[in-house]
Amino acid sequence: MKYFLRIFVSILVLSFIAGCDNMPPGKDNIDEKADQLLEQMTLEEKVGQMTQITLLEITKERENDSDPLVIDEKKLEEVMAKYHIGSFFDNGGAANSIENWHEIITKIQDASKNNTRLNIPVMYGIDAIHGANYTLGATIFPQSIALAATRNRDLVRKGAEITAAETRASGIPWNFNPVLGMGRNPYWPRFFETFGEDVYLTSELGREYIEGSQNSSLGKEYSVAACMKHFLGYSFPLNGKDRTPALIPDRTLREIFLPPYEEAVKAGVMTVMLNSSEINGIPVHSDYNILTVLLKKKMDFRGLVVSDWQDIIRLHTRDRVADTPEEAVRMAVMAGVDMSMVPNNYSFFEILVKLVNDGVVPVERINDAVRRILRVKLETGLFENPYPDKDLLKMFATEESEQINLEAARETITLLKNRDEILPLNKKNKVLVTGPTADKLMVLNGGWTITWQGNREDLYPAEKKTVLEAIQDKIGKSNVIFSKGTDFNKEINISSTVRKASGADYIIVCLGESPYCETPGNINDLTLEAPQIKLVNELKKTGKPVITVLLEGRPRVLKSAAENSDAIIMGYLPGLEGGRAIADVIFGDYNPSGILPFSYPKHPAGFTCYDYKPIESYEQNQYEPLFPLGHGLSYTEFEYSGLTLSDTVFTGKGLLSVSVNVKNRGIREGKTAVELYITDIYGSVSRPVKQLKRFEKISLKSGEEKEVKFTVNKEDLKFIGRKSSWITEPGEFIIEIKGLKKKFTFKSEK
Which residues have a catalytic role annotated? 308
Q: Per rule CB under 6 A, is residue 308 in the interface with ligand BGC?
A: yes
Which residues have a Cβ under 8 Å from the Cβ of 436 and sit 6 or more positions away? 443, 484, 485, 486, 487, 488, 510, 511, 512, 514, 532
Question: In the complex, what is the shortest distance from the CB of residue 341 to ligand BGC, in angstroms, rounded to a whole number?
Answer: 6
Residue 529 touches ligand BGC, criterion: CB under 6 A: no
- The interface with ligand BGC within residues 251-280 (CB under 6 A) comprises 273, 276
- State the nearest-atom distance from the C-beta of 294 to ligand BGC, in Å: 21
Interface with ligand BGC in residues 82-121 (CB under 6 A): 90
Q: Is the CA virtual torsion 122, 127, 129, 134 positive or negative?
A: negative
Beta carbon nearer to ligand BGC, 170 or 486: 170
The DSSP output letter for 278 is E
Please answer whether residues 581 and 418 qualify as being in contact, where contact means their C-beta atoms are separated by less than 8 angstroms.
no
Confirm if 243 and 186 have CB atoms less than 8 A apart.
Answer: no
Distance CA 641, CA 293 (A): 48
- For ligand BGC, which is the closer residue by CB, 306 or 581? 306
SS3 87: strand
Residue 660 belongs to what H/E stretch? strand 656-664
Please state, in angstroms and rounded to a whole number, the distance separating the CA atoms of residues 553 and 670: 26
Nearer to ligand BGC, 90 or 263 (CB): 90
Q: Does 309 bind ligand BGC (CB under 6 A)?
A: yes
Contact assessment for residue 547 and residue 564, using Cβ atoms and an 8 Å cutoff: no
Binding residues among 194-253 for ligand BGC as defined by CB under 6 A: 229
Interface map 561-600 toward ligand BGC (x if CB under 6 A): ----------------------------------------
Q: How far is the CB of 278 from ligand BGC (least distance, A)?
A: 14
Integer angstrom CA distances of residue 197 from 178, 182, 247: 15, 5, 17
> Which residues partner with 548 through β-bridges?
509, 568
- Beta carbon nearer to ligand BGC, 324 or 345: 345
CA 598 from chain centre, in angstroms, equals 14
Q: What is the DSSP string of 529-563?
A: PHHHHHHHHHHHTT-S-EEEEEE-SS--B-THHHH
User: Nearer to ligand BGC by C-beta: 49 or 449?
Assistant: 449
Specify the 3-state DSSP secondary structure of 625.
coil
d(CA 559, CA 528): 8
Phi, psi of 2 (to 5 degrees): -50, -45
> Which amino acid, 38?
L
- Dist CA 139 CA 13 (whole Å): 34
Identify which of 261, 255, 256 has the alpha carbon closest to the alpha carbon of residue 274.
261
CB of 167 to ligand BGC, least distance (A): 13
> For strand 719-720 and strand 726-727, is the pairing parallel, antiparallel, or unpaired?
antiparallel
Distance (Å, whole) CA 313 – CA 553: 31
Binding-residue pattern over the window 146 to 185 for ligand BGC, x denoting contact by CB under 6 A? ------------------------------x---------
DSSP string, 241-253: -TT--B---HHHI
Minimum CB distance to ligand BGC smaller for 45 or for 90: 90
Q: How far is the CB of 187 from ligand BGC (least distance, A)?
A: 17
Question: CB neighbours (10 Å) of residue 510?
Answer: 29
Task: Report, in Å, the least distance between residue 54 CB and ligand BGC.
Answer: 8
Site membership for ligand BGC, residue 311 (CB under 6 A): no
Q: Which is nearer to ligand BGC, 178 or 545 (CB)?
A: 178
DSSP code for 394:
G
Cα separation, 419 vs 545, in Å, equals 9
Using the minimum distance from each CB to ligand BGC, give the nearer residue, 52 or 514.
Answer: 52
Residue 127 interacts with ligand BGC (CB under 6 A): yes or no = yes
Cα-trace Rg, the chain: 27
Q: Residue 171 CB, nearest distance to ligand BGC (Å)? A: 17
CB of residue 184 vs ligand BGC: minimum separation in angstroms? 18
719 makes contact with ligand BGC (CB under 6 A): no
Structural contact between residues 147 and 597, judged by C-beta atoms closer than 8 angstroms: no
Strand ranges across the sheet with 638-645: 638-645, 656-664, 705-712
Query: Helix 73-83 vs helix 98-115: angle between axes, to the nearest 10 degrees?
Result: 40
* 500 close to 480: Cβ distance less than 8 angstroms: no
Give the residue with the Cβ less far from ligand BGC, 319 or 616. 319
Smallest gap from residue 309 Cβ to ligand BGC (A): 4
Closer of 373 and 504 to ligand BGC (Cβ): 373
Q: CB-wise, 85 or 511, nearer to ligand BGC?
A: 85
User: Closest distance between ligand BGC and the C-beta of residue 238, in Å?
Assistant: 18
Nearer to ligand BGC, 276 or 672 (CB): 276
Q: Which residues contact 704 (CB under 8 A, 6 or more apart)?
A: 663, 664
Listed in sequence order, the residues at least 6 apart from 41 whose beta carbon sits closer than 8 Å to its beta carbon are: 49, 118, 370
Q: How far apart are CB 383 and ligand BGC at their closest, in Å?
A: 25
Give the nearest distance from C-beta 277 to ligand BGC in angstroms.
10
From the list 452, 587, 695, 719, which residue makes contact with ligand BGC (rule: CB under 6 A)?
A: 452
Size of the site for ligand BGC (CB under 6 A): 10
Q: How many residues does the chain have?
A: 750
- The residues binding ligand BGC (CB under 6 A) are 90, 127, 176, 229, 273, 276, 308-309, 452, 518
